[in-house]
Amino acid sequence: MSLRYYETFQYKNSLDFTHLQVKFSEVQKKKIINECININIFITIVK
């Protein structure tokens, strides 16, 4: 479950992040980046 979620996250991150950079403001981008980092840390701990 967590691995599948991680793969989906990586997939979405690589495809959509450029679009997100265009779409969102600087503050929103920083929040998204922080969330991505937190998700990666969480998944690393769960593994």
pLDDT of residue 27: 73
Domain residue extents for the chain: 2-46
- Whether residue 1 has pLDDT greater than 60: no
d(CA 8, CA 22): 21
Q: Could you give the CA distance from residue 42 to residue 26 in angstroms, rounded to a whole number?
A: 24
Q: Are 6 and 41 in contact (CB under 8 A)?
A: no
Q: Does position 46 have pLDDT exceeding 50, yes or no?
A: yes
Check residue 17 and give left, alpha or beta (phi > 0: left; psi -120 to 50: alpha).
alpha
Measure the N-to-C terminal CA separation of the chain; round to a whole number of Å: 11
Render pLDDT for 16-33 as a digit per residue (tens, 0 to 9).
Answer: 555 544 455 677 777 777
